[in-house]
Amino acid sequence: MIHKYRLNGFNIVLDINSSSIHVVSDAAYDFLDFLDAKGRLNREYLLSNRVCELKEVADISYVEEFEIIIKEIRKLISENKLFSGNINVGGFDTTSKLKSMCLNISHSCNLSCKYCFAQQGTFGGKNCLMSLDIAKKSVDFLFKSNSYGENVEIDFFGGEPLMNFDVLKKVVFYAKNKAKMLNKKIKFTITTNGVLLNNEIIEFINKHIDNVVLSLDGRKKVHDFMRGSSFDLIVPKFKKLVDMRDGKNYYIRGTFTRKNLDFLRDILEIYKLGFKRMSLEPVVLPSNIMYSINEDDLEKIIKEYESVSQKIIEIKEKDDFVFFHFELNIDKSPCFLKRIKGCGCGVEYVAVTPSGDVYPCHQFVGIDKFKIENINNTQELEKKIKKMYNFRRYRILTVTECISCWAKYFCSGGCPANNWNFNKDLDLSYKISCKLIKKRLECAMMIQAALRMKKVKTRNFVLNKKFC
């Protein structure tokens, strides 16, 4: 099964099962369309030696290129880089253990972002902070559950986690000491709006926190409208933090809404501020909220993504720039098993609230149906996580919508929380997200094609060797 499309002057073909990406000539592109859409030839036919019959049957205008095209197609099929077969690994993950944990150390926030999925940081509950006791018990459970693994990760989230900085510091030292005793490696991530950053906190973060996510929505007027006139306060702090960590292991995380569908301007504004690692996410809100993205907005967003991709090519030619939605690690792509597992929520990843309640991930927090157990009852918690069959299923191999989708091995089935929030069904995809993910993937593959074409200084490809 293949997916092919034209974008920015490139003919791109994705072999779905192998995730091989090819740049092809007009002749090869049309030929594949003939094979696929009209079904006159199949995989076995192409592998045969009946080229003369093929020429007689085919009714397209590139007969003179047939020999080259068919030879290359045969080669790629034999290498499982084109029309490759399905891989059967079963439908359930029975081996994965807990590897990472989101500590919601604060269900309070000092901003009131208008699009906040966490209801201004409280997740529908009361303002509260996690105690050191709950934090330590959570860390203990993570290490116990990961007894055979070498690496663990802790994400500090909220609310605004810096509103509980004292506990954050202490739990970092506690977890580091525990990791050292158990001969494990531990990494920390924090997501912050930046309001409380000061010299002491910046120094601590840059010394002890491995990855930093900084919330900034782009242009001052866009950011301040959504995030409480905080632009002038946080940007200098973000610059200082990033400069002091040599521009490494951070990214700016913004959100675009119906209010700024021209978000290329926001990307460029963030870049002009000196930030070279960023992501701008589409807001996820119910359709009745004025900032939400609906079907009517998709055409404009898709065109904007195409404009963004063209601009990114220009920037990448002269600068080390990362826009995470358009990044494909095609030389070191994740293994097949990792790609079908998805984000790992409820299996390899859980979230803990200030009261110690454990959920499959931070986006399920506050939904009673998905509360697993409390961290104070670790025996029951461990049993229940092992029985999280709804989250242990390989969704892209078991859900009808995903089985036939060309993007399945890149999106890994999408976000279960979004599926639930919009459809009350973990297995019923959030359609808007699906469409946007597919467009982003097409743009990402095109960017890789454009950058590699410039390196080899030719566009005369029939079917290129796989990129990933």
Mean pLDDT of all residues in 399-426: 89
Check whether 314 has a pLDDT greater than 60.
yes
Q: What is the predicted pLDDT for the residue at 369?
A: 94
- Average pLDDT score, the chain: 87
Dihedral (CA of 120, 347, 179, 212) sign:
negative
Structural domain harbouring 16: 2-86
Provide the 3-class DSSP secondary structure of residue 289. coil
Q: What is the predicted pLDDT for the residue at 37?
A: 34
CA distance 366 to 351: 11
Provide the 3-class DSSP secondary structure of residue 190. strand
Within 10 A of 144 (CB to CB), how many other CB atoms are there?
Answer: 12
CA distance 118 to 115: 9
Mean pLDDT of all residues in 212-221: 97
Facing residues of 373 across strands?
Answer: 358
Output 216 or 24, whichever has higher pLDDT: 216
Q: How many Å is the Cα radius of gyration of the chain?
A: 24
Residue 344 DSSP label: -
Q: What is the predicted pLDDT for the residue at 46?
A: 56
Tell me whether residue 420 is in a domain: no
Which residues have CB under 8 Å from 16's CB, separation 6+? 1, 2, 3, 84, 406, 408, 409
pLDDT tens column, 109-168: 999 888 887 777 677 788 999 999 999 999 999 999 987 789 999 999 999 999 999 999
Q: What is the predicted pLDDT for the residue at 196?
A: 98
Token readout for 401 is 């919508």
Tell me whether residue 380 is in a domain: no
Q: What is the predicted pLDDT for the residue at 181?
A: 96
Q: What is the predicted pLDDT for the residue at 467?
A: 36
Output 404 or 269, whichever has higher pLDDT: 269
CA distance 157 to 154: 10
Q: What is the predicted pLDDT for the residue at 466?
A: 40
Read off the pLDDT band of 256 (50, 70, 90). Answer: very high
Of 334, 449, 456, the C-alpha closest to 13 is 449
Of 468, 148, 146, 152, the C-alpha closest to 336 is 468
Backbone conformation region of residue 298, classed left if phi is above 0, alpha if psi is from -120 to 50, else beta = alpha
Mean pLDDT of all residues in 21-26: 89
Read off the pLDDT band of 40 (50, 70, 90). Answer: very low
* Global pTM value: 0.89
Asked if residue 159 has a cis previous peptide bond (ω within 30° of 0), the answer is yes
Q: For the chain, how many residues are written?
A: 468
pLDDT tens column, 178-190: 999 999 999 999 9
Tell me whether residue 52 is in a domain: yes
Q: What is the predicted pLDDT for the residue at 232?
A: 98
Of 364, 350, 359, the C-alpha closest to 420 is 364
Query: Pseudo-torsion of CA 168, 170, 172, 177, nearest 10°?
Result: -170
Domain count for the chain: 1
Mean pLDDT of all residues in 367-377: 96
Q: What is the predicted pLDDT for the residue at 45?
A: 55
CA distance 346 to 152: 15
